[in-house]
Structure 1
Amino acid sequence: MGSQSPRAQSLPSFEKLFRQPSIHAALFEDKVFGHDDWNKHRSAAWRHRIEPTVFFRVAVGFAWQLGAVALVSGGVGVLHILLHGRDTFLSNSHLATPFSMITFALSLLLVFKTNSSYSRWWEGRIIWGQIVNFGRNYARQALMWFPTNRPDLRAAAVRWAAAAPRVLLAHLREDTEVIAEVRGILTAEEVDWLCGWSNGPLGAGTALGQLVVAAELPEQLEAEMQKQVELYTNCAGGCERIFKTPIPPAYARHTSRFLMLYVMTCPVLLWSSTGWLTPLVAVIIAFLLLGVENIGVQVEEPFHVLPLYDICRAIEANIKEMQTAFSGDGANGGRTRPNAADLAALALVVPNMAVNRRGDPAGRGAPKERRSSASAPVDTAPAPLAAVPPASTEIAVAATPPPPVVTDAMRGTTGTSATASTTGQASAVGRRSSVPSTEVT
């Protein structure tokens, strides 16, 4: 193979002239809003304030376009001097009608482009909101339902729930690598295994699903966790669809070239009314119109604009907090499983709450004495259940523990099974005795 031609060798350097500077692209990066940000955003004094530094950073992205408009404006001035004010095509009367026609058409193109880009940006944000829900739900369910005698599975599930969003982030951005994103989350063996996948999110989804299967959960719980894995893979597919399918390039390019032709011919129309102020006026008009078009272009691909790193860090913080709470090391003393007293209290409270909902769905209209009696322990309950203190009842309702049968399957110990079985029988007796008595009351 021979060497490349001089034209081919100089092409990359030529293309650099038309690439946006980093200081321009950074203006369009989003952030996660808080209360202070919203207060600032609602302030008219801040919104309408002109910031010279921001103006300059935006203008840098349109350097050659604005320079071309200024040159054309100067050329129109020179031509006007040479023609000595004769009635030529520079007259307003000759150009007003054509410009009014194309202005309307250009406005329609810009509005459609901006609205379409915003729809893509908002869809991308919705998808990443679902990613947040996936990370929280998968980690929470794994900490609740995975067997306590398999701490390795529980730890692996938590790691992959935190790593999966970062794997998707690296898949969508060109300046990130999977290894750099998950090195501090996954083990070295897991990172090596993940790097063997050409599609990182698909590998992460596979690992998440395999962990659920390895936990040997009851069928219903396994199906529930597999729904979270399916949600993650669906979100990854939605991101790929947005990333790989832009607004039809023919439409986008025609709009951009139409706009450039419009701002280049504006000086011809403006000269008769603005004179030598035409270069300044034309550059300002070009800056404003190019800015509208550029907003649509920047948000068309939302994943370099959305605050994905902040979202991933929020997911990791939530998962870490849940892990601390379920391990019992939290400030409030987290627990992984309900005890027998909690289950007994739950057997008393839940049927009575159900009867109260059937008698008064809205929780209103019934006498105060009746509502209070429906939520109190029933006197006809068996002796072991009636001995449960009220404080334990409140904890059981707040914790909403899983069914005793699920707990037995996870623990797999003879002593615990016997205790849960006794509790289940007592719960059944409590339900049979408490429901009729409450209905009579």
Structure 2
Amino acid sequence: MAAPPRPIPSIHRQPAKPSNHVARCFPDPPKGPSAPGPASSTSTTNTNTNPLLSLLSAVPDWADAVSERRIRDRRPLYTHADWREHRSSRRHLRHLLSSLTSRVILSLAPPVSAFTAFAAAIATYNTLLPAYALTASSLPYQLTAPALALLLVFRTEASYARFDEGRKAWMRVIAAAADLAGMAMRHHNPPATRALLNYILAFPLALKCHIICHSDIKRDLQGLLSEDDLNVVLRSKHRPRCIIEFISQSLYMLDFDENKRNIMESKLSCFLEGISVCEQLIGIPIPLSYTRLTSRFLVLWHLTLPVILWDECKWIVVPATFISAASLFCIEEVGVLIEEPFPMLALDELCKQLHDSTQDVMSVQNLVHNRLAAKTKDQDSGSMRCSDNGWPSSKSEQAKID
């Protein structure tokens, strides 16, 4: 068996506080408006830019700013009340009334408005110059409509598969952290394992900050790790792996049984697998040729739609183009939205749920331990009574039962 690694001086237990619970690490979110994230380099405007180009890019820049701001909102975990509202018969009216605040719909304002304006321009031209009207047969659309439908379906299915893979990876990470924390809490010296529990609970937070942009890892780990440990994590290039190293070193420094230590170390493989899956989903999108093909197909479809429909619909081509662009681009936008799964998942709430459940288990563990200790004390007192749940309350009665 390999010799245990040399202890590193950066592992410290929490500052001395006679507390039996895990350090608190989830402060209440600020009630004021959230501070804006760092400005993107693409939003920087040049004073010498053409005013026409600035005017044309104003709507896309606004839509992108709204989209990026809303994507940083914290997602909640559903409760029973949320599920009742989710399947309510009034959900259609509620969804319709909230359309103007939808991030997906607001992000579609630039393309949908552009294609609608283009349809209005074609309709105006055909009305003013009927002898030179732009018209064409609808047969090409009838032949290519199934291809466009299949392309959108496959694109959305591929995006949902990535979303589901990310969700399952996080469920495995949370389950492994809960198992590891439970094994640590059953150690015969709970105060000695308090720092280890904090390292275990810090890993999901570090992984969340590693894969989600604009995350504040220092704020998330401020009340969970000691100042020295937090500085080591912040200086690390790969913070989730740094947390894993803290856990691994702590297992060797604490006097765990050899078999139990091996089982606990095997749980760390779930953490490493979660890191690998998350980094692959972030770094490898759906093949770009597929995404570009879908986008180009939709653009060409709606640029030619007013020409195809003019003979049959006349000015109705304007609302028809608007409805078609809003519907099809919305499907494509949902596929792009869930292609990066982690901003869509309630990762903050999952980490908080793990923290709160660990606290609750520790409280129940103390209550059960005190209750059983009281039963054992009654058993040693020599009383001939049996308790309500059948425990023998004396050694003589236990001998009779045996």
Which of these residues, 130, 134, 140, is aligned with residue 98 of structure 1?
Answer: 140
Q: Deviations over 1:203-251 (max 9, x none)?
A: 1111111111222322211111112222112112111111111101111
Q: Residue 130 of structure 1 corresponds to which residue in structure 2?
A: 172
How far apart are 1:392 and its partner, in Å?
7.0
Larger RCO of the pair (alpha carbons < 8 Å, separation 6+): 2
Q: Residue 26 of structure 2 corresponds to which residue in structure 1?
A: none
Structure (1/2) with the larger helix percentage:
1
Q: Are positions 1:32 and 2:66 aligned together?
A: no
Q: Deviations over 1:131-190 (max 9, x none)?
A: 221222111111102x41x72x31101211221111011001111132121011111011
**What is the rounded CA distance, in whole Å, between the counterparts of 2:184 and 2:349 in structure 1?**
24
Q: Are positions 1:109 and 2:151 aligned together?
A: yes
Q: Are positions 1:199 and 2:238 aligned together?
A: yes
Q: Are positions 1:70 and 2:130 aligned together?
A: no
CA contact (8 A) 2:71 2:343 kept: no
How far apart are 1:393 and its partner, in Å?
6.1
Q: Residue 195 of structure 2 corresponds to which residue in structure 1?
A: 156
Unaligned runs of 5+ in 1: 1-5, 346-386, 396-422, 435-441
The AA in structure 1 aligned to 2:260 is L
> What's the secondary structure of 2:225's corresponding residue?
coil
**What is the rounded CA distance, in whole Å, between the counterparts of 1:337 and 1:217 in structure 2?**
26
Q: Are positions 1:142 and 2:184 aligned together?
A: yes
Which of these residues, 58, 64, 79, is aligned with residue 21 of structure 1?
Answer: 64
Q: Residue 41 of structure 1 corresponds to which residue in structure 2?
A: 86
Q: Are positions 1:335 and 2:380 aligned together?
A: no
Task: Name whichever of 194-203 and 292-301 sits farther off.
Answer: 194-203
TM-score by length of 2: 0.75
Q: Residue 252 of structure 2 corresponds to which residue in structure 1?
A: 213
**What is the rounded CA distance, in whole Å, between the counterparts of 2:46 and 2:88 in structure 1?**
53
Q: Residue 268 of structure 1 corresponds to which residue in structure 2?
A: 307
CA contact (8 A) 1:114 1:293 kept: yes
**What is the rounded CA distance, in whole Å, between the counterparts of 1:318 and 1:133 in structure 2?**
12
**What is the rounded CA distance, in whole Å, between the counterparts of 1:337 and 1:241 in structure 2?**
48
Q: Residue 188 of structure 1 corresponds to which residue in structure 2?
A: 227
Q: Trace 1:40-439 onto structure 2 (pairs within 5 A).
A: 40-47=85-92, 49-55=94-100, 57=102, 58-84=104-130, 90-91=135-136, 94=137, 96-145=138-187, 147-148=188-189, 151=191, 153-326=192-365, 328=366, 333-335=367-369, 389=386
**What is the rounded CA distance, in whole Å, between the counterparts of 2:150 and 2:110 in structure 1?**
25
How far apart are 1:18 and its partner, in Å?
4.2
How far apart are 1:336 and its partner, in Å?
8.3
The AA in structure 2 aligned to 1:129 is M
Task: Name whichever of 191-200 and 54-63 sits farther off.
Answer: 54-63
> What's the secondary structure of 1:317's corresponding residue?
helix
> What's the secondary structure of 1:201's corresponding residue?
helix
TM-score by length of 1: 0.69
The AA in structure 2 aligned to 1:191 is L
How far apart are 1:47 and its partner, in Å?
3.3
Alpha-carbon RMSD across the aligned residues, in angstroms, is 3.7
The AA in structure 2 aligned to 1:131 is V
CA contact (8 A) 1:183 1:191 kept: yes
Number of equivalent positions: 346
CA contact (8 A) 1:144 1:336 kept: no
**What is the rounded CA distance, in whole Å, between the counterparts of 1:279 and 1:101 in structure 2?**
22
> What's the secondary structure of 2:248's corresponding residue?
helix
Q: Deviations over 1:257-285 (max 9, x none)?
A: 21122122212222223322322221121
The AA in structure 2 aligned to 1:198 is K
**What is the rounded CA distance, in whole Å, between the counterparts of 1:233 and 1:136 in structure 2?**
15
Q: 1:189 to 1:131 in 2, by over 3 A?
A: same
**What is the rounded CA distance, in whole Å, between the counterparts of 1:113 and 1:223 in structure 2?**
43
> What's the secondary structure of 1:185's corresponding residue?
coil
**What is the rounded CA distance, in whole Å, between the counterparts of 1:9 and 1:337 in structure 2?**
77
Q: 1:154 to 1:337 in 2, by over 3 A?
A: farther
How far apart are 1:51 and its partner, in Å?
2.4
Task: Name whichever of 177-186 and 299-308 sits farther off.
Answer: 177-186
**What is the rounded CA distance, in whole Å, between the counterparts of 1:141 and 1:215 in structure 2?**
13
How far apart are 1:256 and its partner, in Å?
1.2
> What's the secondary structure of 1:32's corresponding residue?
coil
The AA in structure 2 aligned to 1:335 is H
How far apart are 1:323 and its partner, in Å?
2.6
Quote the sequence identity (%): 23
The AA in structure 1 aligned to 2:96 is E
Q: Residue 417 of structure 1 corresponds to which residue in structure 2?
A: none
Q: Residue 356 of structure 1 corresponds to which residue in structure 2?
A: none
> What's the secondary structure of 2:369's corresponding residue?
coil
How far apart are 1:199 and its partner, in Å?
0.8
**What is the rounded CA distance, in whole Å, between the counterparts of 1:394 and 1:241 in structure 2?**
54
Q: 1:286 to 1:177 in 2, by over 3 A?
A: same
CA contact (8 A) 2:122 2:134 kept: no
